[in-house]
Chain A
Amino acid sequence: MEKILEVKDLELSFHTFAGEVKAIRGVNFDLLKGETLAIVGESGSGKSVTTKSIMRLLPEHSSEFKNGEILFNGKDLTKLTDKEMQKIRGKDISMIFQDPMTSLNPTMPIGKQIMEPILKHRKVSKSEARKVSIDLLRLVGMPKPEARMKQYPHQFSGGQRQRIVIAIALACNPQILIADEPTTALDVTIQAQILELMKDLQKKIDTSIIFITHDLGVVANVADRVAVMYGGRIVEIGTVDEIFYNPQHPYTWGLLSSMPSLDTAEEKLYAIPGTPPDLLHPPKGDAFALRSDYALKIDLEEAPPFFKISDTHYAATWLLHPNAPQVEPPVAIVERMKKYPGSRYYEGTEGGAY
């Protein structure tokens, strides 16, 4: 499949009073045409910063690209001038933010807000832009779009506002849509509607989506591929089945085990001990080693490289090194692996090999 965006060795730091915070420490991934890539991780893992650096939305005075490139249509986004970036932002790449309450302008009718990117990026008349906006509102499932164009954000519910934000993001048929926790602030039933809408729209306009979330249920629902971030790095990346049914990194194990499933009734929930690393002083080796039950000696000294599990599945953990001891993943993970052909715990319908 065609690559639409390539992020290579991206490193980014923030300069703060306390010192240099290494928020992203070497991130690599590709985004393919028409796919949904989910990025998961805890707060502070660098998932939002990664996407904000793609959009160049980080404050220039305090953030600094240390290394790497972000290639979009052959252009390195980290090197563009503000003027050039403005032509891409909102047109080729657009963004849906987490909080629909604060991402709309409260003093402007929503129609005007949807027309804004259309007038800016497409050479159309005002009446034409108005027509497009009404079509967009209809597309995102807003009843009576003509009448609602004149209304202000406070006259809409949270779910409806998020639909408006999506309409604005889609106004110029972007090639890439970045959704930063678009449903976190919404109720489950509204969340389900918005996710269905996004999937539906993706099919219609054939855009690629980068979906940031910490809800693994949502990931299982929307993603084609998943990248798991921890401490400013991607620790595991693979297709949604590979990540959920054959995870290899201890952090992915921890994340998956700490979600209660609806059918198990264990006494105690697995909780990853400790807290995320302080990126002012990033640890030398594997950032997760100090919280991991599976840490090896080398984890404290040298950061693990990516080991290949399949053509689409990579994980950065020394456990995959040929010399590493064979470890038993947590019970909940073994249960998941049993469903996955190609994992060493797979129990086929034939009864398995041993």
Chain B
Amino acid sequence: MAEKLLEIKNLKQYFNQGKPNEVRAVDDVSFDIYKGETLGLVGESGCGKSTTGRTIIRLYDATDGEVIYDGVNVHDKKSKKDLKTFNQKMQMIFQDPYASLNPRMKVLDIIAEGLDIHGLVKNPKERKERVVELLETVGLNREHADRYAHEFSGGQRQRLGIARALAVNPEFIIADEPISALDVSIQAQVVNLLKELQKEKGLTYLFIAHDLSMVKYISDRIGVMYFGKLVELAPAEDLYNNPLHPYTQSLLSAIPLPDPNYERTRVRKSYDPSVHNYQDGEEVTMREITPGHFVYCSEKEYVALKAVSSARV
């Protein structure tokens, strides 16, 4: 695959650090994101997937670890100017299309805010033209520019969120559950739009979600998180056909599919963390089982998994 765009190394994000109520939301997570790919990040609520996304884009200061974007550490001290260029490259689409748009601003101003900050347009006419162009890119039209957010449906608002993220010509977009609040038929529209934009503009996505069937559809590779740890990372097909970590297996077995015959026979596996029975001093890290397929495991488990997957091939 292509070159690395983003390297996340031993990222840690602890809240209330040092206090009795310390929360290790993200606990020593490492992975890479390649240029032009979509990396899906899945897990239950509270597993730290959103926190990972937010720490990468510097909404939180990382407790420890590095996020290296195109060779530059995101969390290093930066001059205002450097920070601005960095902010332009990385954008975010939020989960709740109702809460993430300012109700007192017109669509024109919401979308143009980034343009103004980065000085990407010279005069009001150009500003308006650019916004209209963005609206058209996401399937809305000129008239929508003078409206307020409450005049739009959920799917349309999410399109506005996407237009706003695209305004500054970013390279990398973090989409934090962008479709969870939408209806099934509208979800498909938004996902198709994201895919088209990726093709056109060569964008890289980090797609955070808990709807596993959509994630598989949009992602090239998928990471599974559990209690602040990344437990498995593999190409999308591989992860679904051949999940190795018991938590991934349990997560996949819990998804109901729109197929009654399958549903009648589906058996749900539950995950019990005590199956690992890790001894003190045993080193548990991400290990590569088959090319590109990483699992969080101990040396002993690694040998066992390796044997299983080579038997399958």
Contact = CB atoms under 8 A, between A and B. Distances in A.
Indicate whether A and B interact: yes
Interface of A: 42-43, 158, 187-192, 195-196, 214-221, 240-241, 244-245, 254-256, 258-262, 265, 268-273, 275, 339
Interface stretch (B70-78, B125-133, B189-197, B277-285): B189-197
Interface of B: 44-45, 153-155, 183-189, 191-192, 195, 210, 212-214, 216-217, 237, 240, 250-251, 254-263, 266, 268, 270-271
Given A192-B254, A217-B255, A269-B188, A43 B260 contact: no
13 contacts: A187-B45, A189-B270, A189-B271, A215-B184, A258-B187, A260-B216, A261-B257, A265-B237, A270-B188, A271-B185, A272-B185, A272-B189, A275-B153
Chain B interface, >50% SS class: helix
B242 to A, nearest CB: 13
Contacts of B44: 187-190
Given A188-B251, A192-B256, A269 B184 contact: no
Contact of B183 (A43, A219, A262, A268): A43
Contact of B254 (A189, A245, A254, A258): A189
Nearest to B257: A217
A187 B49 CA distance: 13
A221 B261 CA distance: 9
Contact of A188 (B210, B258, B261): B210
Contact of B256 (A190, A221, A245): A221
B48 to A, nearest CB: 14
Contact of A258 (B155, B185, B266): B185
Contacts of A245: 260
Contacts of B213: 217, 259-262
Given A188-B210, A262-B213, A255 B260 contact: no
Nearest to A158: B45
A189 B188 contact: no
Max chain B C-beta neighbours (<10 A), residue from A219, A256, A269, A339: A269
Given A43-B154, A188-B255, A219-B258, 13 more contacts: A42-B184, A42-B185, A189-B44, A189-B271, A191-B256, A241-B261, A255-B185, A256-B258, A260-B217, A262-B213, A269-B191, A272-B189, A275-B186
Given A187-B210, A216-B184, A275-B153, A259 B258 contact: yes
B260 A214 contact: no
A272 B250 CA distance: 32
B105 to A, nearest CB: 23
Given A42-B185, A254-B185, A262-B216, A268 B256 contact: no
Given A188-B210, A189-B250, A268-B192, A42 B183 contact: yes
A218 B260 contact: no
A269 B255 contact: no
